């Protein structure tokens, strides 16, 4: 689904220009340009194949690394996957996601903290 520049602005500034998951700085002008520094996309928190909606509350700005690692998983499944991974890289990413959550108070944080506390 293509987004208008105004919508991209809204998503970008909703996090002050950081990946909603890991907190990495993203670059407004590098939306959808994976080869550029700070490239980002709009991620479905719950993907469309899991009945996730196209409404704003289900959409967040995400860096390419998070988006490609999460792929078609729901946020809940992805967090569990990272937390229980045998790779320290995944566990470190989950720790970043937890830390970045301090900036927000919403359902996304609720899910992340739920997995942290399992």
Q: Which residue from 26, 42, 45, 63 is in contact with Zn ion, where contact means CB under 5 A? A: 63
Is there binding between residue 8 and Zn ion (CB under 5 A)?
no
The site string for Zn ion over 65-94 (x = CB under 5 A, - otherwise) reads: -x----------------------------
Length of the chain: 118
Q: How far is the CB of 112 from Zn ion (least distance, A)?
A: 13
Q: What is the dihedral of CA 86, 43, 53, 113, to 10 degrees?
A: 50
Closest C-alpha among 113, 86, 114 to residue 98? 113
Q: Which residue from 8, 11, 15, 19 is in contact with Zn ion, where contact means CB under 5 A? A: 19
SS3 59: strand
Structural contact between residues 69 and 75, judged by C-beta atoms closer than 8 angstroms: no
Question: For 49, which DSSP code?
Answer: G
The piece of 7-15, 38-46, 55-63, 110-118 that touches Zn ion (CB under 5 A) is 55-63
Provide the binding-site residues for Zn ion, judged by CB under 5 A. 19, 21-22, 24, 63, 66
């Amino acid at each position: 689904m293509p987004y208008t520049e105004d919508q991209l602005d809204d998503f970008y500034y909703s996090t002050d220009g950081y990946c909603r998951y890991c907190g990495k700085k993203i670059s407004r002008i590098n939306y959808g340009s994976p080869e550029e520094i700070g490239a980002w996309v709009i991620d479905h928190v719950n993907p469309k194949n899991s009945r996730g909606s196209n409404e704003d509350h289900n959409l967040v700005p995400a860096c390419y690394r998070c988006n490609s690692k999460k792929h078609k998983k729901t946020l809940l499944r992805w967090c569990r996957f990272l937390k229980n991974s045998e790779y320290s890289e995944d566990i470190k990413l989950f720790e970043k996601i937890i830390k970045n959550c301090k900036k927000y108070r919403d359902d996304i944080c609720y899910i992340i903290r739920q997995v942290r506390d399992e």
